[in-house]
Amino acid sequence: MPLWKWILCLLGGLLIFTVLQGLAMSIPDLGSWPLQCVVMLAASTLILFLYAVWVNLTERRPVLELPMRRMVPDTCKGMLFGILFFGLIAGVLALSKCYSVSGAQFDTAQITGFFLFLLVAVCEEVIFRGVLFRLIDDRWNTVAALFFSALLFGAAHFANPGATWWSSIAIAIEAGLLLGAAYKFSGNLWFPIGIHWTWNYVQGYVLGFAVSGNPVNEKILSPIVSGPDIVTGGSFGPEASAITVGVGLVLAVILLLRAPEDRRK
């Protein structure tokens, strides 16, 4: 691909899908939670469809990173990965006497949250892995793709409530690198979408933590979090915890090492 066309695909893709993400996140409260869930599911599907159209028009190739035969198995594997990841983080915090539960409740808002975080995962994975990571990886190498996509992924969370330089660096390492490695390992977007989806949902709506600095009110578990911010993540949530950074980095390395040889370069 000529350099001018590569730049057009990169910048055009980032601009278009960032705008689409902003529009998707502006979906009004429709009152009925089943309708809200259907609308967010439809918006997620539309974003993926438009990504496929964009790639087909600009790169003149099949959209190999969204194979339909891998949609269910790889999304489910990613979802399990995300559940186990934050289950492990909560377990370590509990053993460290930094996390405990004072009660539990269930509300239909938690179902809406499940589909909300699907939409978030689809939008962000299309932008950061589908456009940014993939195009840099294709033109240069995986190291450059991991570095720049993780750096921008962390920077994108700098404006969140309670964000600091450390929280952005932490997200870049534990999530930016991990999700890039997940894409490289699986060869498609379904696996990182699944991880991102349940990473956010379990962290916020199940375990009761703030998600990237955004507090969740309708959580299943009512948490009691105490201890130093470097361990708990403070008001930003466990994504700013050194424990999460360490676990995420180790898992990213494992996924990269286990990626098929033809995807390593």
* Domain assignments of the chain as residue spans, ordered by start: 3-263
- Stated pTM of the model: 0.95
pLDDT tens-digit series, residues 84-111: 999 999 999 999 999 999 999 998 999 9
Structural contact between residues 102 and 224, judged by C-beta atoms closer than 8 angstroms: yes
What DSSP string runs through 51-115? Answer: HHHHHHHHH-S--TTS-HHHHHHHHHHHHHHHHHHHHHHHHHHHHTTSEEEEEE---THHHHHHH
Mean pLDDT of all residues in the chain? 95
> Mean per-residue pLDDT for 243-249?
97
Residues 6+ apart with CB under 8 A from 120: 25, 196, 197, 200
Structural contact between residues 68 and 188, judged by C-beta atoms closer than 8 angstroms: no
